Every structure is written in C-alpha cells, then in structure tokens.
Amino acid sequence: MLNKKIMILLSSIILLLLSAFAIMFYFNNDQKPKTLQASQYPSPPAETPIEKVTTEIIHDESKWTTNNTHDAEIIKVDDWYYTFSTDYKVAGTPLPGIQIRKSKDMINWTFVGRVFDNVTAEAKIWTNGGSTYWAPDVVEINGIFYLYYSVSELGTRNSYIGLATSTSIEGPWDNQGSVIKTKEGDTFTVNAIDPGIIIDKDGRSWMAYGSYFGGIFITELDKATGKLKNTDEEGTLIAQRQNNDYAIEGPAIMYNPDTDMYYLTVSYGWLEDTYNVRVARSESIQGPYLDYNGKNMIDISDGSFDTGTKLVSSYAFNNDSGWLGTGHNGLLQEGDDYYLTHNARVGEDLYWSHLHVREIIWTEDGWPVVSPERYAGKMKKPIESIKTENIVGQWEQIVLSRIDDSKATSTTLHLYENGKIDDENGEDYWELKGDSLKLYWYEPGGAPNDYWIDTVTVLPQWDWENWQPTLVFTGLSQDGTAVWGKQLPLEDKE
C-alpha cells in the first residue's frame, strides 16, 4: 500500500515537473526568436562598439573615419569606394578644399586628402568672397573623372558650379572653370549649387542641381566637355517647395533597369536636425517625378509637406541617442546592389557629423526603401528564406511620418507565434511569405476592408545600437509611410 502511494506521489511530481518544463519551454520560445546561423548575419564591423563622439581625434584627420563628413557623394573605382564631401570639422573652421576618403568595405574609411587648397579666383569673385567648396559630385566617363563643385554666397543666388578633371580619382585635378553661374537679378530662377550627375540609359549625361531658390532643375551636359549642352538655359524644373521657408536641396538621380524608371532623391529640412531624404520616380529623366501617392514633386498646392516619399529622417532606437540631420544623400549602384549615403549628426551632440551608408531594398512595386541599420557588410552565407520561427518575438518599430520631420522614436512590437500582434487575442495580425512580412492593423470603418497594411522586407543586419546581429524590416505602409523594425532580443547561435 505504501509503495503504491509513493508511486502515485512520484508520478504526480513528475507530471508537475513536466508541466513546468513545458510552460517554461513555451514561454521561452514565445519570447525569444530562433535565430539564423551566425554566418547568415554580417560580421561585427569592429572589434568593439564604435563611439559616436571621440574628442581626442578632432585634430587627427587620419582617425576621422566617418567623422566630420558632410554632403558626401560616393563612387567605386576598381576595388575602392571613394567619397567626396564638403569640408567640415567639429570645433574648427572648415578648410576650402573638398575632402576625399576611401574604403574597401564602406565601413572603415581612410582620409586621403583634399581637392584644391583655395577657392578659384573666378568663383570667389562671382560669389562675393565665397571661401569654401560645397556639395561635390564625381563621375567617370571614358577614363576621365569629372568633379563638379559648388561655391556660393550664403543665403543668396550668387552661386557657381564649377568643374575639375583628372585621369586619377585621387588627383591631381585640373580646374576647367564654370559650368553654370547664377546671380541675384538674372533671368534664371535656379540657384547654381548641389550638382548631381547621372548618365541616362541611352548614355547621355545630365546634371540635377538647385536648392531653396526656385527648386531643383535638370539640364543636359555635353559629354565632350562636361559642361552645359545649352549654355543659356537652366533646364527643366523637376522638384520644388512652396517658398524659401521650406528647404529643398541635394538632388541625386539613379536609374533602375529592372523597373525602367529614374528615381530622384532630394533633401527637405534643416541640416542640423530635421534633414530628411525624399524620393519620387519617373519614366523620363526630365520628369515628371511622382511620389508613392502620385504627387508631382513640383506640386506646391498643399505646402509640399506631404510631397515626396520619405526614405530616412532623424530617428532613435532604444539604448541610443539616435541621429539627427539625416539628409543630403548620395547614391551608388553596384550590379544588383544599391546604396544610399547621407549625413547624420549625433543625437547627444549635433556638431558631430558622420557618414552613413545604408542598403537600398526594392519593394515588389518598384519603390526603394532603406535599411534601418547602417551597412556593416554582406552576410558570409546567404539565407534561403526567413521562417516564421525567426519572426516570433519582441521588436522595436519606428514609423517615419511623412508630415512630421522631428526625431522619430521606437515603440515595442510583439509578434506572437499564433500570428497576432501585441495581443494574442487581438485583431491585429501578421503574415510572412518568403522574406515579405505584412502587418495588418485593425481600424473598422476607417481603413480599406477594415485593415491598414504595412508591407516590409525582413533581412539580417548588424544592430549598431546593441552591438549584436539581428533581423530588421523595412518597407512602406499602405499610404506610403516608411516603416522600420528591429528584433530584440537575440540568442547566440552558431
């Protein structure tokens, strides 16, 4: 009899233990995602986390890496990536020259030097003493490098775009004089700064340029000289804001042969805080350029706040002060891979300006979006597909409002194993097909078919804020709002 009671007691204890283990197993699986293999994530970009503010390097250009970068344009030559940028220095006076840096991986950058020691006499006289070069762009045509630069009298249309050429990307450079000059009171409306050069699908050269004054124009270049094909014309207006109270500048254009479309990027906002990058596309390089919602980039009827599909703007994930002034972008196409560069100022000290490089991901309907994390290299072993078990868990989400350009912060998002969002019994839910994740947000009577839908792409990236591998998502909401996400936490798994 005693043995029977002991057996029943032992059986009860075993059942209780098994139940406890089952509950723990379910809880842990519900809270933590099953990660990919380590080789399927990018490697750490450095041995230890990279500090955003490092005062000891202020006067040592050899250690600047991404620091003190502004208005950088990017080009690949042989096995090197190069950026040319406006001279900038924390707690110092900018020098006249154009900064050059190079990198093998777009992560670790070496300072090469500067183009020119002083502004040319012609440009200085035209701009009433302009002392520095702004916003360069460089392109290679038939073995010759064409470097376009700006000089301007701040706050006026007394501006000058010039050209220098070289047979070597690192120089020396020969100045070729002006490409276009504008002056207060002339017959032009454009402001001659911020050149962005693009070779179209037919091999013709074009320059997009301009700023607050009159907006962004595009004009054809003479490939033999690199200068304007029609010297007395400013070109075609392709983007503008309502007036000079609303910033627009820094144009760049890329062509995607898969969509047979041209994509215009411009920056809105003020460079120290609200700077943000917008995109629109066109079947013709001369426009019209329409955003995700079909709005023409020259349409100022609504004040142009909601014109242009936002790609990146000031933001902060948890455990980090975030980044401000995320604008003035450059574009790079390398085979099937596309990248966007832009300025970024440190959240806790906006005088520190860094270079950011981000992967561009294309939506199913042919729109570019960018990774919420900076580029940290390619994964060593490509993934075949993201699985549902990889998605389950806690995420941070950032929504980049089309209207509000102030710093966007993250909120917590929980994706449950049963397909629900935040509430296991709620109406919001998610679906995964391949690497495409759809988030369904229930709003009966307000949304089409009662649900707003965010469509995002999931991919492995390096988490710069928490210094670990992670999964991220990036995409657009139903109304063309950029949506970012980052998964937390992650287990170590080989």
> pLDDT of 424-433, one tens digit each?
999 999 999 9
Note if 71 is an active site residue: yes
19/111: higher pLDDT: 111
What integer pLDDT is reported at residue 490 of this predicted model? 54
Instruction: Place 19 in a pLDDT band, splitting at 50, 70 and 90.
Output: very low
Q: What's the whole-number mean pLDDT along residues 238-243?
A: 94
Q: What's the whole-number mean pLDDT along residues 447-469?
A: 95
Q: What's the whole-number mean pLDDT along residues 416-422?
A: 97
Say if residue 279's pLDDT is above 50: yes
pLDDT in tens, 281-296: 999 999 999 999 999 9
State phi, psi for 443 to the nearest 5 degrees: -145, 85
91/303: higher pLDDT: 91
Interacting residues of 366 by C-beta distance below 8 A, sequence separation 6+: 256, 258, 259, 261, 281
Structure tokens at 171: 């120089």
400/39: higher pLDDT: 400
What integer pLDDT is reported at residue 85 of this predicted model? 98
First-to-final CA distance of the chain:
52
The model carries a pTM of 0.91
If we measure between CA atoms, which residue out of 484, 455, 477, 265 comes closest to residue 372?
484
Say if residue 476's pLDDT is above 80: yes
Interacting residues of 329 by C-beta distance below 8 A, sequence separation 6+: 250, 252, 265, 267, 277, 311, 312, 340, 341, 342
User: Cα–Cα distance between 291 and 277 in angstroms, integer?
Assistant: 13
What integer pLDDT is reported at residue 384 of this predicted model? 67
Say if residue 492's pLDDT is above 60: no
Instruction: Place 244 in a pLDDT band, splitting at 50, 70 and 90.
Output: confident
What integer pLDDT is reported at residue 474 of this predicted model? 98
Q: What percentage of the chain carries pLDDT values higher than 70?
A: 91
What integer pLDDT is reported at residue 392 of this predicted model? 95
Q: What's the whole-number mean pLDDT along residues 108-120?
A: 96
Give the least confident one: 5-19, 26-40, 330-344: 5-19
Instruction: Place 370 in a pLDDT band, splitting at 50, 70 and 90.
Output: very high
Say if residue 436's pLDDT is above 60: yes
Say if residue 139's pLDDT is above 80: yes
If we measure between CA atoms, which residue out of 253, 396, 241, 357 comes closest to residue 303?
241
Instruction: Place 382 in a pLDDT band, splitting at 50, 70 and 90.
Output: low
Residue 268: how many other CB atoms lie within 10 Å:
23
Q: Give the active site residue among 87, 249, 359, 405.
A: 249
Instruction: Place 18 in a pLDDT band, splitting at 50, 70 and 90.
Output: very low
pLDDT in tens, 156-214: 999 999 999 999 999 999 999 999 999 999 999 999 999 999 999 999 999 999 999 99
Say if residue 123's pLDDT is above 80: yes
Instruction: Place 380 in a pLDDT band, splitting at 50, 70 and 90.
Output: low
Q: What's the whole-number mean pLDDT along residues 303-317?
A: 92
What integer pLDDT is reported at residue 1 of this predicted model? 46
Structure tokens at 398: 């950032």
What integer pLDDT is reported at residue 301 of this predicted model? 85
Interacting residues of 207 by C-beta distance below 8 A, sequence separation 6+: 148, 161, 179, 195, 196, 197, 198, 218, 219, 220, 221, 228, 235
What integer pLDDT is reported at residue 20 of this predicted model? 38
pLDDT in tens, 387-410: 999 999 999 999 999 999 999 999
What integer pLDDT is reported at residue 23 of this predicted model? 31
Burial category of 88 from C-beta neighbours within 10 Å (exposed 0-12, middle 13-18, buried 19 and up): buried
Q: What percentage of the chain carries pLDDT values higher than 90?
A: 84
What integer pLDDT is reported at residue 443 of this predicted model? 97
Say if residue 243's pLDDT is above 70: yes
**Does residue 354 contact residue 346 with C-beta atoms inside 8 Å?**
yes
What integer pLDDT is reported at residue 41 of this predicted model? 86
**Does residue 431 contact residue 440 with C-beta atoms inside 8 Å?**
yes
Backbone region of residue 286 per phi and psi (left: phi > 0; alpha: psi in -120 to 50; beta: other values)? alpha
DSSP states of 454-485: EEEEEEEEEETTTTEEEEEEEEEETTS-EEEE
The pLDDT mean for the chain works out to: 91
Q: Give the active site residue among 71, 87, 359, 405.
A: 71
357/14: higher pLDDT: 357
Note if 249 is an active site residue: yes
User: Looking at the DSSP assignment, which residues form a beta bridge with residue 217?
Assistant: 209, 237
Q: Which helix (H) or strand (E) holds 20?
A: helix 2-31
